[in-house]
Amino acid sequence: MSDPAAFESRLEKRSEFLKQPVGHSRQGDFIKCVEQKTDALGKQPVSRGFTKDKIWQQYFAAKDTVYAVIPEEKFDLIWNRAQSCPTFLCALPRREGYEFFVGQWTGTELHFTALINIQTRGEAAASQLILYHYPELKEEKGIVLMTAEMDSTFLNVAEAQCIANQVQLFYATDRKETYGLVETFNLRPNEFKYMSVIAELEQSGLGAELKCAQNQNKT
């Protein structure tokens, strides 16, 4: 968007993101599973190889969705930075170029919608991807669990995963230059350069596999 002030105004109007799910939610199912597996974990010998990370991985491995086990230290870094910089821009590789998605934290949920939706619909722009973070196991197990709901008419699992990976790329990085883009977007929007996001994404290699798959589908 060429006018950062206009964009910021539209984003502020949408500060309370729509709460309805964008896809089928498995939150209740997975919470039950985690509780059951955590109880079982305490009763089984460690040698059986049933670790806290596998609780999450085994449950979602066969499901067509996005999920992750985030170490406590990494989540704390992401969370602390999100308090001062709750909004950011991700670049999603498309067959022709890139599409920008705006992410905004609301509690432990991170809502994403395409930039073009905010430009055209403003506060009526619905979330197309929501990342849910569950810190309940953080103190006991040292992990935070993440899963997602997405609007499958706009995104597939690989595309949603690419966006989710960029949260850690930009918020959990040790590189000042990379997190500096987040700070600039939130604190000095007039100085923000959209192409810098694409440059960081390409340098990280996160979008390479997705881009390759899209090119193969095109042929």
Task: Summarize the confidence of residues 11-32 as an average pLDDT.
Answer: 50
Q: What's the pTM value of the predicted model, to 2 decimals?
A: 0.74
Strand bridging mode 143-150 / 109-114: unpaired
The per-residue pLDDT for range 95-111, each reduced to its tens digit, is 888 999 999 999 999 99
Give the chain's mean pLDDT. Answer: 78
> What count of other Cβ atoms lies within 10 Å of the Cβ of residue 10?
19
CA distance 150 to 131: 9
Residue 23 pLDDT:
45
Tell me how far apart the alpha carbons of residues 104 and 110 are, in angstroms, rounded to a whole number: 6
Please give the share of the chain, as a percent, with pLDDT higher than 70. 65
What number of residues does the chain have? 219
Tokens matching residue 12: 């502020």
**How far apart are the C-alpha atoms of 196 and 216, rounded to whole Å?**
26
Q: What's the pLDDT tens digit per position in 29-85?
A: 555 555 565 555 445 443 344 344 555 555 555 456 788 889 999 999 999 999 999
pLDDT range class, residue 125, cuts 50, 70, 90: confident
Phi–psi pair at 66, nearest 5 degrees: -105, 135
Interatomic CA distance for residues 69 and 110, integer angstroms: 16
Q: Both tokens of residue 136? A: 């309940």
* 88 contacts 101 by C-beta, under 8 angstroms: no
Residue 212 is predicted with a pLDDT of 59
CB-CB contact of 59 with 30 (8 Å): yes
Q: Which residues pair with 158 in a beta bridge?
A: none
Read off the pLDDT of residues 46-56 as tens digits, 9 standing for 90 and up: 334 434 455 55
CB 184, CB 191: distance < 8 Å: yes
For residue 77, the model assigns a pLDDT of: 97
Whether the per-residue pLDDT at 219 is higher than 70: the answer is: no
Greater confidence, 77 or 125?
A: 77
The predicted structure's pLDDT at residue 165: 93
Nearest of 56, 53, 128, 94 to residue 211 by alpha carbon: 94
